[in-house]
Amino acid sequence: MPQIFRDPSFDSTLDVLREGYPFLYCRSQRFNSDIFQIRLMGLKAICLHGAEAAELFYNPRLFVRKGAVPRRVQTTLMGIDAIQTRDNGEHRCRKEMFMSLMGPESRERLMSLLAEQWQRYAHRWEQQDRVVLFREAQEILCRAACAWAEVPLPEPEVSKRARDFGAMVDGFGGVGPRHWRGKQARRRGEKWMRGIIRAIRKGALPVQEGTAAHTVAWHREPNGELLDVQMAAIELVNAIRPIVAIATYITFAALALHEYPPYRQLLRNPAEDYPELFVQEVRRYFPFTPFVGALVREDFSWHGFEFAKGTLVLLDVYGTNRDERWWQDPEVFWPERFRQWQRSPYDFIPQGGGEFLTGHRCAGEWITIEALKQAVAFLNDGIRYDVPAQDLTYDLTRMPTLPASGFVMTNVRATGKGALAVLPMPAAGSRQSAAAMSCPFHHKG
């Protein structure tokens, strides 16, 4: 019976903080293994890397999420006992609630709201000397997401709410002040949403059926009971917060357009859906989620390796998206690689993996892709701008990371071009065939 290789370090917690995103990836390469063992905060943890390991990890018969998500992540990013911590029937029921918000009509409505905001902000930016795209994108996404969810957002609160949603994301990987700011933002957001839920249930705030506010407020658990007000508030925050988090990907997309300008013309080709290839490569190439965790449900073996009940297991998200067995030249930014991708739910997992309906794959992944395509169209054709000298590097030891400057633009001019037309949404989870095509150029990242 093979033994799982053990990292010789007594405890790897400080190494994770020092190395950041590549920690598991580098260990997998160093040990030449898709499975190895470390100690993290004093606990034994089995680490997995690669598509085959991801398929194992997302098998709900073998792993549970309850107890695997650290409290510091729950108090910032997702809320205590939210959907990401649930299993079995509870998870399926809650997942169906979120999936009901992801249909073509709902996504088309969100994209229309976003288009309005991009155009509005484009004209506002013409009056500004300096625009920090990351912060502005957070506001745009927050405005559109709240309107889509039918959560009232008074104008004086827009900036504060957008920053709070951003702080929830930023706080999960931080220590000290960053983590504290994320906790405080989560508390403020949940308090705000508790008031919304109570108003809806009392009939004081009429909301349209099928919107996030209505769906969450009246959702019933498997036992037939409504979510309690606190849990409904948590999940309503979780319907909006991930949309605001797309600002990170939008900022990286702007960086890609700036660093690889030949792709701008390819994005304008109406004969093919090149924007989809481009945004998928943005999601693969730039760091977002470092790793995810679960606990072993019951004892089992895999390739002869023993997994004991209750053991913490970590899946390398960052490294799996760079696995050379699946991704040729993974450190090259090359959108064309996605022409040949077979749409496996396990080899490309920037927001987690697994099946949409039966597993823990992010319900908002389709929204992320469509919102990114729209933002790329806006940045490529909807405005013209200059990129002054600034620090565009991003630190892989900071989780989550972002270009240090937030991507500053100057001399912004709206073009008036119809780059933000809202196209019909494909059905959720639909497959799109793509013919193989050789890459016209490679750009080193």
Specify whether the CB–CB gap between 374 and 111 falls below 8 A.
yes
445 pLDDT above the threshold of 50: no
Cα 344 to Cα 34, 54, 205, 348: the distances in Å are 18, 11, 42, 7
User: Measuring CA to CA, which residue among 227, 200, 202 is closest to residue 214?
Assistant: 200
pLDDT at residue 66 tops 90: no
pLDDT attached to residue 83: 59
pLDDT of residue 353: 84
Average pLDDT for residues 371-392, to the nearest whole number? 97
pLDDT single digits (tens) 240-278: 999 999 999 999 999 999 999 999 999 998 777 899 999
The torsion of the CA quartet 107, 111, 114, 116, rounded to 10 degrees, works out to -130
Sheet holding 131-132, edge to edge: 131-132, 408-414, 383-386
Angstrom distance (rounded) from CA 335 to CA 345 = 18
Q: Does 436 have pLDDT greater than 50?
A: no
Check pLDDT > 70 for residue 440. no
At residue 321, does pLDDT exceed 70? Answer: yes
| Conformation bin of residue 439: beta by default, left when phi > 0, alpha when psi is -120 to 50 | beta
According to the model, what pLDDT value does residue 290 have?
94
Residue 423 binned pLDDT confidence (cut-offs 50, 70, 90) = very low
Render the burial of 37-76: b for 16+ CB within 10 Å, e for the rest.
bbbbeeeebbbbbbbbbbebbbebebbbbbebbeebbbbb
State how far the Cα of 211 lies from the Cα of 92, in Å rounded to an integer. Answer: 19
Residue with tokens 């108090």: 75
Nearest to 97 by CA among 230, 215, 227: 215
Bridge-based pairing of strands 43-48 and 35-40 is antiparallel
For 159, the token pair is: 């900036």
Structure token digits, residue 240: 């909006």
pLDDT at residue 363, as a whole number: 67
Task: Tell me which residue has tokens 């696995």.
Answer: 323
The residue type found at 204 is A
According to the model, what pLDDT value does residue 52 have?
97
The token duo for 221 is: 């658990």
Among all chains, which residue has been given the structure tokens 């993290």? 40
First and final C-alpha spacing in the chain: 42
| pTM given for the model | 0.90
Q: How confident is the model at residue 399 (pLDDT cuts 50, 70, 90)?
A: very high
Least confident interval from 16-30, 109-123, 360-374: 360-374
Calculate mean pLDDT across residues 282-310: 96
Domain locations along the chain: 5-444
Q: Is the pLDDT of residue 442 over 50?
A: no
The contacts of residue 174 (CB under 8 Å, 6+ apart) are: 181, 182
What's the pLDDT score for residue 288?
94
**H helix intervals, 67-172:** 71-73, 88-99, 104-125, 133-149, 158-171
User: In this model, does residue 434 exceed pLDDT 90?
Assistant: no
In this model, does residue 84 exceed pLDDT 90? no
Structure confidence at residue 279 as a pLDDT band (50, 70, 90)? very high
Query: Which residue in 274, 268, 265, 257 sits closest to 437, CA to CA?
Result: 274
Cβ(68)–Cβ(62) below 8 Å: no
Q: What is the CATH number of domain 5-444?
A: 1.10.630.10
Q: How confident is the model at residue 85 (pLDDT cuts 50, 70, 90)?
A: low
- Output Rg (C-alpha) for the chain, integer angstroms: 22
Residue 159: count other Cβ atoms within 10 Å of its Cβ.
13
Number of neighbouring beta carbons within 10 Å of residue 306: 15
Q: Is the pLDDT of residue 106 over 50?
A: yes
As a whole number of angstroms, the distance between CA 46 and CA 226 comes to 37
β-pair type (35-40, 5-6): parallel
What pLDDT is attached to residue 333?
A: 98
pLDDT tens, position by position, 139-155: 999 999 999 999 999 99
Least confident of 290-294, 357-361, 374-378, 415-419: 357-361
